[in-house]
Chain A
Amino acid sequence: MNNSKQLKMTVYTSLFVAFIAIGAFIAIPVGPVPIVLQNMFVLLAAIILGPVWGLACVAIYLLIGLAGLPVFAGGTSGIGKLFGPTGGYLLGYLPAVFVTAAISKGLGKRMSSDIIAMLIGSLIVYAAGVPWLKVVTSMTYEKAFAVGMAPFLIGDAIKIIAAAFIAKTLRPVIKL
């Protein structure tokens, strides 16, 4: 990779780090539960940046939060949040972004393949987040699913469709 292209990816990845951090605070009011856009930006980072830079993106986001800068939801950060009850979702972004990016790339970056990739990515986030929530709070599995997954599923479906549209329009603009 030549120097200029690498610098471009460095800047774009940093931009997505910022979007993921801010996504925790941007909520779109739809019905009773507002839709928070953070996980959508993680999925977008995956299908736009690709596996390697996507993974770097999430890793740097977590690193910034872990290092004490206030980028996690609720304006808090640090070890307490990452290993707190909702830390599983945050750590789940790591495998999710990589797998989503790899699938999207492997299937040829079409809209349908993006949707499949993002569906799998979202499931990975829950696969990490829900058991973590269960262990930390010692809820039952049914309860953990009811609290930590079910309320967000409709919002996730909406976000995945929106992300697929966004990626389709954005790719020709940023020419990666």
Chain B
Amino acid sequence: MAYVTPFTYRQGQSLLHLLDVRCKFFMICLISMSMLSAHLSACFFYFLILLFFFNKAGLNIFATLNSIKYFILLLFFIFIARALTVKGDILFSFYGMSITEQGLNEGILVAFRFFLVMLTGLLFSITTKPSSVKSAVQWFFKPIPFVPEKRVAVMISLSLGFMPVILKQAKEISDAQKARCSDLQKNPVKRITRLVLPLLKKTFLSADSLVLAMESRCYNDDRTDPEFLPSGKEIPFLIGSFIISLSLACL
């Protein structure tokens, strides 16, 4: 999956890496929520905190930005759209369109908030193992009725496992077809079905053998619970994130 997802878990031993995943989940929800009403100065303050943790986790913020450049482009469009549409004191105008001071401010604020929520999410996915994400999902779903949380956790594992297999097979199928000049085919419906149909058939067959393998290893929904390894610093982090989200919401 490496080439499609530049942003995935990186091994490490930083504070955030070791923090209990449930605590991180809680923090990310809290902060993202309070971000909705955060002011510019508070946003900037929080940005500095994020920079600190990116640094702590041994990550280069610029490499990070590069991997989300399309999202940043989208934010730029949001900024332009806001700047042009919000009514207020006109700063300057051209070709019948005008940029207002209020529009500019609001555009920056909205784009900045999205940007920060995105960075927070990235920091989480870089420092958290997929398997602990799965365990946390299972833990949070446990009190919710009608959700078979253990099966959901197994399904998350399975689908993450299928992804590299599908990508590998997609590449093989597409190469095999290119070798037989499939590029000459102009009909888009045929192009899609010729890639997807063999891919689905093949992966469904391997899914069938997975079913057998799971059955032979006694799969059932009543399984051992995952274990969590708290680092002992969860309480200060929770308090810290409470303070941050309070200041984001109120400042």
CB-CB contacts of B112-147 with A at 8 A, as 1s and 0s?
001001111110110010100100110000000000
Are A85 and B78 in contact, CB atoms less than 8 angstroms apart?
yes
Using a Cβ–Cβ cut-off of 8 Å, how many residues does chain A contribute to the interface with B? Answer: 59
**A166-B189 Cα distance, complex, nearest whole Å:** 10
Q: Which of A37, A63, A78, A173 contacts B125 (CB 8 A)?
A: A78
| B8 surroundings in chain A (CB, below 8 A) | 69-70
- Interface residue A120 (Cβ < 8 Å from any Cβ of B): no
CB-CB contacts of A99-111 with B at 8 A, as 1s and 0s?
0000000000000
Using a Cβ–Cβ cut-off of 8 Å, how many residues does chain B contribute to the interface with A? Answer: 67
> What is the count of residue pairs linking A and B with beta-carbon distances less than 8 angstroms?
191
Are B71 and A28 in contact, CB atoms less than 8 angstroms apart?
no
- Interface residue A127 (Cβ < 8 Å from any Cβ of B): no
Binding site of B, secondary structure by majority: helix, strand, loop or mixed? helix
Given A12-B204, A12-B207, A68-B28: A19 and B193 interface contact (C-beta under 8 Å): no
Binding site of A, secondary structure by majority: helix, strand, loop or mixed? helix
Given A14-B159, A67-B137: A80 and B121 interface contact (C-beta under 8 Å): yes
Residue numbers of A with Cβ under 8 A of B are: 3-4, 7-8, 10-15, 17-19, 21-22, 25-26, 28, 30, 35, 37, 40, 44, 56, 60-61, 63-64, 67-71, 74-81, 83-86, 136-139, 158-159, 161-162, 165-166, 169-170, 173-174
